Amino acid sequence: MPFMDPLEREEYMEDVHLRILRVTEDLRAIQRELNCAAMEAPNDPELMEALSELPELEALEVLKSSLDQMRHFLWFYVQVMTNDSEVGEKLRETLAQRAKQEAIERNRDKYDLAAEAMMLRYLADAKNRKPN
């Protein structure tokens, strides 16, 4: 992200914002549905059994784990982005340096692939040329 022009950065952030809104709405919908199921389950033995089956419980554990991980990450992210202390500044610098290094490595990989493609094209052209 550090090498994006302002328009690309704005579009990227808009996409992230829209995704956050969608995920937030999905989480609210899941909460409403689970709440309804929890209210109905005591009166419906079949529903209670279905909600207690292993696939349902595993799905809930995966969701819980993902939300816990996201909560920890968001706490860290907010600390880094809003903290004016020296530690916050060092963390921001480290994250920026890491992003820059990853971008350099991606570009290097692109250039390596382009150079390889050019060499293969040169060799193929040389093979098809008639000798003088």
Write out pLDDT tens, residues 52-106. 887 888 999 999 999 999 999 988 888 777 776 676 677 777 777 887 887 777 7
Instruction: Record the pTM.
Output: 0.55
Domain boundaries, the chain: 84-132
**Average pLDDT over the chain, rounded to whole?**
82
Residue 30 phi, psi (nearest 5): -60, -45
Average confidence (pLDDT) over 110-131: 70
Distance from C-alpha of 59 to C-alpha of 52, rounded to nearest angstrom = 11
Annotate 22-39 with b (16+ C-beta within 10 A) or e (fewer). eeeeeeeeeeeeeeeeee
Distances (CA, A) of 115 to 87, 106, 107, 120, 128: 42, 14, 12, 9, 20
Angle at 100 between CA 94 and CA 106, to 5 degrees: 135
For residue 76, the model assigns a pLDDT of 84
Residue 12 has pLDDT above 60, yes or no: yes
The token pair that represents 15 in the structure block = 């996409």
